[in-house]
Each structure stands twice: as C-alpha cells, then as structure tokens.
Chains A and B, each alone.
Chain A
Amino acid sequence: MDIVITDSALRKFLETNADCETIAKDVSLCGPTFDRLRKIEEDTIYEIEVITNRIDTASAMGVARETAAILSQYNIPAKFINDPYLEPMKFQDGLSKQFHFNIEKNTVIRFTAISIENIHIKASPEETQKLLENCGLRPLNNCIDITNELTLLYGMPSHVFDLDKLAAQSLTIRESIKGEVITTLDDKKHTLEGGDIIIEDGSNRLVDMCGVMGGQVAEVDEHTKNILLIVPVYDSKKIRKTSLSAQKRTLAAQIYEKQPDPDLCLPVMSKAVELIKIRAGGRVSSSLFDYYPGVRKPKLIKLDFDWLNRFVGVEIKREDVISILSSLGFGGTIEENSLICSVPGWRYHDINIREDLAEEVARIYGYFRLPAILPSVNLPAEPKNLLLETEFKSKTFLSDIGFHEVYNSSLVSLSLLEKTLVDPSNCIKLKNALSSDYEYLRTVLAPSLMENYKSNQGKINDRVDILEIANCYLSDSGQELPNEVSTLCLMSSSGYLETKGILETIFRKLKVNDFSFKTTSTPKPFFNPSTTADIFSGKQKIGEIGTVKPVVLRNLGIQGEPTLAEINLVNLVSKINQKYVFSPISDYPAMMEDITITSKQFLGDIIETIKNTSQLIKNVQYLSSFQDKHTFKVSFESLERNLNQTEINDIKEIIQSRFKV
C-alpha cells in the first residue's frame, strides 16, 4: 500500500534536525520505503510504500515513530513526540443523550461514537486544506476535513453523519443482505452482494457502507447543525471484500482491511472532538458510546539473546537490543539470557514469534551493517541430473548446426488446438484464463512450433529451423497433478532424411541405446501417418518424426513440406547408456564391398538383416536404390587378422541368400 504524507505532517510527531533527503534515504533502508520526494513551496511531499503487514506505519505518526527509532541508530538526534497514546483524554459522562447501536456479532472489533450539536459548517483553515490537497484529498468542509486529516495523521479513519438526517433512535450495524441498495457520498448506487458491513437507521435506510464510504442520506453539508461522529474498527476481511467488489479502494478501506489498532479509537475520538470544537464550535451532546467486546490480552514473546545473535549472524549488544525495541514501543522484562517482550497494541497482528522480534532488532540496527558471508554447507554429493544435462546438450547441438531455439507459452488457445487437430478434451483447461489465447496447457509442443514456423516464413530466407524444449502437461487419471514431461520438438525446412539424420546424430552423441525408426499407424493427429515414423530405443517409444498433414499445413498457412519431430526426453533419458564402453580399434584394415539387394522390405529391415549376418560386418552404409534394388557399402573387419576375399564372398552369399524370395 502506498501513502502520501507531507514533511510538515511528519514533523508534528518528529523532532529532528535531519533534512528530508536524509530521512528518506535512511528510513528506506530500515523501515518503510520512501519511493519519491517532491519539493513544493514550503513543504516536501513523501510518497511512501507501506509494508503490507505494517498498517501502523500508514500515517504521519507511524512513519515518525519509525523515523525516530531509525535516525537514532545513525547517530542523528531524533525524538518521537506528541504520542497520542500518552495524552490524557476526557469524555464527559452522564449527558442526556445516550446512543445505542444494535451491533451484529463479528462485524466490528471496536465501535465508538459521540454526538456534537450546534456546530457551524464552514471551510477548514488553510493549513488543513493544504495538507489534504498535498496528500491527494479534496477539502470539503471543516468537519469532514477533520476526519480525513486525522486519518492522514494517525492512520485511523473516522466518519461524521448529519445527525438530523438520521433516524437515530435505532441504529443497527449488521451484514448486508444480497440485493440491498446504498447510494454513497460520491452519488454512486451500489447493489450489495451480501455480507458487507452496513449501518441501518431507524427508518430502515442504509446510511453507511462501513469502512469504505458513507451513505449519501446522512451527508454532512453546509446546513448541518448536529453531527454524529464515529471512530470504529471493523472486521478486516469483510471490509476487503466490500472494497474489492464495490471497486472502491478508499484510504479508509485500505487501512481497515489491514486492521488498525483498536486502542487508537479513543485517542483519535478525543482529537476529533477537540478539533471540531475549535473549528466548528458546538458542544458534545452525548456520552461516549464504546463497544469493545473482545478486549485483547497482552502479548508476550520471549527473545533469547544468544539465539538472536546466531540468527542475525553478528553480536548485537544487549543494551542496543533493548533500546531498539523500546524505541519502537515494545516493553518487557529482562531475564537472565533473554527478554520477555510485550507487544504494543499497534503491532498486535504483525509481531507473533521471536523471528518477528529479530527482524525489528536487525532492521533498525541496520541490514547494511551486516557482513556478507558465504555459508559453508557440507552438502553430500548428488548424482548428476541427466535430464537437465540432456536438455542442454540437445539444444546446444541443434543451435550449433543452425536451429533457432524458441520459447512459447505453455498455455495455448482452443483455436490452435483445433487447427492442429489436437483433442482439447485431453488438455488441462484453466479455470480462470486471462484470455482465450492462453487457456489450455500444452500436451504437445508441435502446434506452437508450427505457429512459429509460419510466422517466420519469408522473413529471413527460404529456411526455417526451430526447436523448443519445454514441459508437456499430461493429465493422469487418478493423480491430482499432471505428469510434466520434458519434451523436445523441432521443425525444419529440411526433408525427412536430413532431419532424421540430425536426430540420429543427437542420439549417438547422447549415447542412446539401440534406437530405431519404425512405421506407425497412429501418430499424433497432425502427423501424416504414411510419412511418419515412431522412434524407439529398444522397446521404449521415445518420439515421432514425420511430415505434417496437408490440412494442418493449410490451416496454419504453412508453405512447403517441413519435417517435424517430437521427442519425449524423459523416456529418452531412461535409455541413455551412462557407462563408458571402450571398443578396441583393429590393427587390420577394413575391407569395403558394395552389395546390391533385391527386396521389397523396408530399408531399415534390410540393413538390420545384413548387419546381423556376421560379426565381421562392421558397418552398412546405404548408397542408392533403383526400384527394388538397393545398394549398400558394407565394411568388414576383424580384430585378430587380415580378412581374405574368399570369406568375404562367402558372407556376401549368405546375405544374398537371406533375401531370396
């Protein structure tokens, strides 16, 4: 939450010679962050980021308390002054008017009210008007301005009603019922969702959208003579809900949703009454109404000095610890090696454990005073992460030979899935998508790459070679969470054989065991089944490679006939041979022989058959085909001896015999 306060307001609670720049610089390091300083005539405006759990600092007083504590640590004399908690308050008892509010349970933490009669509405003094304007609020009249001024100064919102416009004989604070309507001070009509805190008067009218904005019916205007002043603390969650659903992020709402200190109600009530008397005349006409059902127990937390030093990492003197905590309003008693700290009311919610106290000590002491030390943690050795290594090796290799790596969103649109024939019912769908462009989690990467391919066509030259490695999210029935499968997808302007060659090189480099490419009948839906292969390592399927169905190419507007491959890296990694195997190099020369086979079998099967004919066959290289005739270059080699032509001819005959029909 960001607040705006002026330097003059800050100095109502702060006695120091430090200039604005010094304050902003030093406090930012130890407390709330001063985002910006703006010099204006005779004053400075601070824009301050209040840390979300420190609503006590969302005021001039709160920032002043922090500033005084922090500057002292920089050896700059500074004192927190005009502490409202310490000032005497007097509320007259036994006055004729007695208010009674019917208060529904769990709506308020504390509720205080008082009436003042015979006031004169006019403009606020210039100083007040300036303060409000400088802080981004609009001056209205002396009474309303007082409530706003006190919010800025003390961080405690209050509200005034025109008493004569209220049917005040019966006032009820309750949760709204769905459909109830209230018109707020800004002339906006709100139909409530139910569960909002509202005040209903004796004529069954809603007069306040509590903690967010007052109702128009009881607005204080230039004719107002008598007022009802309230200083409440509401249930924070209900205020937040109303503020968000009504889209009214008023300063009061932002403060109430973080729950300000209920102990501050009476000091602020006392200030308000005092200021109203001074600026608008009038006299208090009712006894103080003060409803505070759940008075809080004092909160005590033990802080062990040795633990503190271990946790912060440096030794902080006990007297420094004590002086820091007391400058922030903490009290307590010292035991042998520890401090029993009592938590001040305004810190009741954010200070709960010893670590919270350690933070207070360390930040005021100054994080910038702590040395930077590398921890010596003796982490036992871990096995290497083969998946991460494989991902990096694969993409490095591909990028080295000309592929460009892309990163696509894991979330894709229904339209893309439909264009690429992917069944959306298998994809995880977001419940609250940002837009239809980002709605389904990918189960395959190829659709995104096809989009990338299309958008790059014609931009550079006639080639597009791209790759992506990312997770696919495969829902697994019976499992709460999907399987996140690291996947490599590549798409290339090259033909099938060249792309297949690239994959084969990767597999060999990665030492993937025994891989093979086999015809498939059921590839992923965008692949053309007649020109697509399943890729196996042993019996484990690790991916698919092929061309894309013409209808999919047409849906995406892709020209030419690119090759697409998608590899399941988790399965691939399971087939990597991690052992180093040394194969001896023969001292005897290899002999090369061309051999032509006539067969209707797949080339892959023919090569397998040739290879398996003799252990002397070292390699089979495919040369060319003419109809059913296929020519290979076969190399023969022995580790023990020179081979002679006769035995090679024998092997060639055996090979031929295997293809006799």
Chain B
Amino acid sequence: MHLKTPRSGEFLLLLETGKQTMKELDEIKEELKIDLNAVATPEGLDLIDTKFLGKQGKINQLFKTLPIKTDPKLGKQINDLKKDIEAQIAEKLDYILNSSKTATFDVTTPGKEQAEGSLHLITQAIAEIESIFLRLGFVRRRYPEVETDWYYAEGLNIPKDHPARDDQETFYVGDNTVLTAHTSNGQLREMELKKSPPIKMINIGKTYRRQIDATHTPMFHQFEGLVVDKDINITHLLGVTEYFAKAYFGQDRHTRLRPHHFQFTEPSFEIDITCEVCSGTGQVDKQNCKVCKSGWLELGGAGMVHPNVIKNGGLNPEECSGFAFGWGVERVLMMKTGLPDLRMIYSDDIRFLNQF
C-alpha cells in the first residue's frame, strides 16, 4: 500500500502555531493511517469516511474546538488536512474497487440446469394460427365435437341419402349424433349465435375420422374460418388465404385455387400452396420434387358458403354472402416442419416433446 507522505513545510507551520494543535492533527493522521491499513471493503471505508469527515467526525470536531478565528492559518491547516484525508480515502476506495480479490473460477463450467418443460407442437401451431386470424379481426370460437346430424350434415346441405354420408369416415356415438369429422358445424352454430351479419370467426377444434396411417390419425385438429357479410366475394377468400399462407409459411409462398366440390359451398375450391422444397418449380436437381405435385401442395378445401347453408343458419342468402374454409392443423404443421409421419405428432415421448 502506498500512502502520501506529508510535506515538510506543513510540519514547520504547525510547530510555529503550537505543539498542542500539531499533536492533535498528527494523531488524526496516525489514526487514519491505521484505519486505512486495516480496511478492505467499500463499506468499511464508508465508516472511516464518517469517522473523519462526517458531521460528527474528527475534522468537524477540530473546527469546533480549535481557536480558528484567532489563528487564520490554523483554519487552512485543518482544511488542508481534510483535503488530504479525502484524497487518501478516495485513493483507497479506488484501490479496493479495482483490485480484484474475488476468486477466479472456470467460466466454462456448465450452468446449473433449470427445469425446462415444453408446449406441445399442436398448441404452438394453434397459437400461431389463432394470432394470424386475430390480426385480421377474426374472433376465435370453440364448438361441439360431439354433434347432431343437423349441424354435422343435414344443415350443411348433405341430405340423408347422399353418398358423402356413407364414406365410412364418420364415428357415430348415437343414431343421430357423431364425432365431428370436420369443424364446419361451427358455421351453422356461429350464424345461429350471431343471428345477423357480419360474421368473422375462426373455429379451432378436435375432429375425428375412422382412419389411421402415416397421414391420418383417428383424432386431429381443424381450423374453420367463416366470413359472412354483405357482398363477400371470391376475391376476399383469396385475400384471407394469401394472407394466412404468407404469415404462416413465409413471405415467398403463394396460393392458388382449383375447382372442387363440397356440398356446403358453391363454388368450392381446393387451395394449393407453393412447395418449399422445390420453390414451386416441381423440380429438384432436374428430378421431380418428391414432396409435392408439380410445385404445389394441397392446403385444404374452401368455398363460398352455399345459400342453403346460409338459410339453414337463419340468415338470408339474398342479403349476404360468405366464404368458409376448413384446414388441418396437423396438415399445415407437417407442411411447415417437414415431419414425415402424422402419428409422430401424437407421441408422448418427452424426448420428442422436448424438441419444440
């Protein structure tokens, strides 16, 4: 430790003004020297600061007890001492703060592990889908998964003897009740709820089909959009589709409509989105792309709501029109992540769940 030594002129002055005063100043200096030698922390230094320079400190005591008024030099001496103490404390503080006394450690030691759980891929996909449609002003709904024949089929313009009924894909729980194979029951339910246009909803829910293979599980999820208002037209369906595709899959993706047929929409469309693997060209290294059909992947069905469905929902098809779509959550998830087998999504293995 390096301390400032007092200058010799100061001692001469003190000798002249009286030995008593000089002794007191000396004592303070000596005490400070001992204190500073002993102190090792900024907090300890704060105490020394208070002891010498505080309101009740030793320097202030000197000002109170010594005859400063009769001896102007004396005042200067004390002030000099004060400055000297301030300087020494500052120097010591600087030394303490900058001399690293903390033990060094191996900064590459692994950090202490914290519990880390995971939200399921489906939850993440639904949250993302929901947020995209909420940005567009849709309201999210949830409608029954066990449903009556009216909401599931008859009211959606699928009469009792229609071939679409015997596709063997539907689970029945009663003579007149099914597990929904699509989320379109939400269309009628929403129209009944709102009673009049406008309608702009997204119904996300579980759906069920009697199928199991690499691209089908008996339970899966769909999101159903429905927009009904005065003069809703095909370009609006295109607008929402394109917005979703770009927001969910990426800015460079495009969509197209192809003619299709569903009982509850007229016209009906199949919506395709450009394939990411081949960038919509259908070719990878001069070979046909293995993922898509000529550059396009099927996203799902959509269409303009059939006037009978609007009527069955209690609205007047002469006064409003609408579009609807029903797409698979797992399907868009697989398209986005490249997961090869839908059944993987339903694995309960934490080593799988952990990855997302």
Chain A residues proximal to chain B, CB less than 8 Å: 25, 28-31, 33, 35-36, 51-54, 237, 240, 244, 257, 310-314, 350, 353, 355-356, 358-359, 362-363, 367-368, 370-375, 377-379, 382, 385, 387-388, 392, 395-396, 398-411, 428-434, 438, 441, 451-452, 455-456, 459-460, 464-466, 470-471, 473, 480-482, 484
Q: How far is the CB of A439 from chain B (nearest CB, A)?
A: 10
B120 interface contact, C-beta 8 A: yes
Per DSSP, chain B at the interface is mixed
Report how far A33 CA is from B259 CA in the complex, Å: 8
Among B179, B233, B270, contact of A311 (Cβ-Cβ < 8 Å): B233
Considering the complex of A and B, which 3 residue pairs feature the smallest CB-CB distances, nearest first?
A402-B115, A359-B267, A313-B235
Which of B21-29, B55-63, B137-145 lies at the interface?
B137-145
Among A240, A244, A374, A399, contact of B119 (Cβ-Cβ < 8 Å): A399
User: B173, B206, B259, B353: which has the most chain A beta carbons within 10 Å?
Assistant: B259
5 chain-A/chain-B pairs, Cβ below 8 angstroms: A311-B304, A405-B123, A428-B146, A438-B219, A480-B177
Report how far A402 CA is from B354 CA in the complex, Å: 10
Instruction: List, in ascending order, chain A residues with CB within 8 A of B118's CB.
Output: 399, 404-405
Taking CB atoms and an 8 Å cut-off, the chain B residues in 68-94 that contact chain A are none
Chain B residues proximal to chain A, CB less than 8 Å: 114-120, 122-123, 127, 136-137, 139-140, 142, 144-148, 161, 163, 166, 171-174, 176-177, 179, 198-200, 206, 208, 210-212, 217-219, 227, 229, 231-236, 238-243, 256-261, 266-267, 269-270, 293-294, 304, 306-307, 321, 345-346, 348-351, 353-354
Instruction: List, in ascending order, chain A residues with CB within 8 A of B211's CB.
Output: 434
B234 contacts A367, CB within 8 Å? yes
Report how far A35 CA is from B238 CA in the complex, Å: 23
B235 contacts A371, CB within 8 Å? yes
User: B122, B219, B235, B269: which has the most chain A beta carbons within 10 Å?
Assistant: B235
Q: How far is the CB of A553 from chain B (nearest CB, A)?
A: 18
Instruction: List, in ascending order, chain B residues with CB within 8 A of A438's CB.
Output: 218-219
Report how far A353 CA is from B306 CA in the complex, Å: 10
A409 contacts B218, CB within 8 Å? yes
Instruction: List, in ascending order, chain A residues with CB within 8 A of B171's CB.
Output: 430-434
A431 contacts B172, CB within 8 Å? yes
Residue of A nearest to B235 (CB): A313
B142 contacts A388, CB within 8 Å? yes
Report how far A432 CA is from B166 CA in the complex, Å: 13
Report how far A363 CA is from B171 CA in the complex, Å: 35
Instruction: List, in ascending order, chain A residues with CB within 8 A of B163's CB.
Output: 237, 240, 257
Instruction: List, in ascending order, chain A residues with CB within 8 A of B173's CB.
Output: 428-431, 441
Q: How far is the CB of A294 from chain B (nearest CB, A)?
A: 18
Residue of B nearest to A473 (CB): B146
Instruction: List, in ascending order, chain B residues with CB within 8 A of A374's CB.
Output: 136, 236, 239-240, 243
Instruction: List, in ascending order, chain A residues with CB within 8 A of B142's CB.
Output: 387-388
Among A358, A434, A441, contact of B146 (Cβ-Cβ < 8 Å): A441
Q: How far is the CB of B239 from chain A (nearest CB, A)?
A: 4
Q: How far is the CB of B129 from chain A (nearest CB, A)?
A: 13
Q: How far is the CB of B13 from chain A (nearest CB, A)?
A: 52
Report how far A358 CA is from B120 CA in the complex, Å: 43
- Given the interface contacts A312-B234, A374-B243, does A408 sit within 8 Å of B348 by beta carbon? yes
- List 7 additional A-B contacts (Cβ < 8 Å) besides A31-B259, A410-B208, A480-B148: A312-B234, A359-B266, A372-B238, A372-B242, A459-B350, A480-B177, A481-B147
Report how far A17 CA is from B287 CA in the complex, Å: 27
Instruction: List, in ascending order, chain B residues with CB within 8 A of A459's CB.
Output: 349-351
A355 contacts B117, CB within 8 Å? no
A409 contacts B346, CB within 8 Å? yes
Report how far A125 CA is from B266 CA in the complex, Å: 45
A314 contacts B174, CB within 8 Å? no
Among B117, B120, B345, contact of A402 (Cβ-Cβ < 8 Å): B117
Instruction: List, in ascending order, chain B residues with CB within 8 A of A473's CB.
Output: 145-146
Report how far A431 CA is from B178 CA in the complex, Å: 9
A367 contacts B260, CB within 8 Å? no
- Given the interface contacts A355-B307, A452-B348, A459-B350, does A378 sit within 8 Å of B198 by beta carbon? yes
- Given the interface contacts A377-B137, A481-B177, does A313 sit within 8 Å of B172 by beta carbon? no
User: A36, A350, A375, A379: which has the most chain B beta carbons within 10 Å?
Assistant: A375
Report how far A36 CA is from B294 CA in the complex, Å: 9
Instruction: List, in ascending order, chain B residues with CB within 8 A of A408's CB.
Output: 346, 348
Q: How far is the CB of A67 from chain B (nearest CB, A)?
A: 14
Report how far A409 CA is from B294 CA in the complex, Å: 35
Instruction: List, in ascending order, chain A residues with CB within 8 A of B146's CB.
Output: 428, 441, 473, 481-482, 484
B266 contacts A484, CB within 8 Å? no
Residue of B nearest to A312 (CB): B234
Instruction: List, in ascending order, chain A residues with CB within 8 A of B200's CB.
Output: 375, 377, 379
Among A25, A377, A480, contact of B198 (Cβ-Cβ < 8 Å): A377
Report how far A237 CA is from B119 CA in the complex, Å: 48
Q: How far is the CB of B160 from chain A (nearest CB, A)?
A: 11
Report how far A408 CA is from B211 CA in the complex, Å: 16
Report how far A402 CA is from B206 CA in the complex, Å: 26
Q: How far is the CB of B307 from chain A (nearest CB, A)?
A: 7
Report how far A371 CA is from B239 CA in the complex, Å: 8
Among A371, A375, A385, A451, contact of B227 (Cβ-Cβ < 8 Å): A375
Among B239, B260, B294, contact of A372 (Cβ-Cβ < 8 Å): B239
Instruction: List, in ascending order, chain A residues with CB within 8 A of B172's CB.
Output: 430-432
Q: How far is the CB of B87 from chain A (nearest CB, A)?
A: 40
B259 contacts A484, CB within 8 Å? no
Report how far A438 CA is from B137 CA in the complex, Å: 37
Among A367, A382, A451, contact of B257 (Cβ-Cβ < 8 Å): A367
Instruction: List, in ascending order, chain A residues with CB within 8 A of B199's CB.
Output: 377, 379
Instruction: List, in ascending order, chain B residues with CB within 8 A of A382's CB.
Output: 139
B119 contacts A396, CB within 8 Å? yes
Instruction: List, in ascending order, chain A residues with CB within 8 A of B127's CB.
Output: 392
Instruction: List, in ascending order, chain B residues with CB within 8 A of A310's CB.
Output: 231, 233
Residue of B nearest to A451 (CB): B348
Instruction: List, in ascending order, chain B residues with CB within 8 A of A362's CB.
Output: 234, 267
User: B219, B266, B350, B354: which has the most chain A beta carbons within 10 Å?
Assistant: B350
Instruction: List, in ascending order, chain A residues with CB within 8 A of B210's CB.
Output: 432, 434
Instruction: List, in ascending order, chain B residues with CB within 8 A of A430's CB.
Output: 171-173, 179
Instruction: List, in ascending order, chain B residues with CB within 8 A of A482's CB.
Output: 146
Q: How far is the CB of B208 from chain A (nearest CB, A)?
A: 8
Report how far A408 CA is from B122 CA in the complex, Å: 11
A385 contacts B140, CB within 8 Å? yes
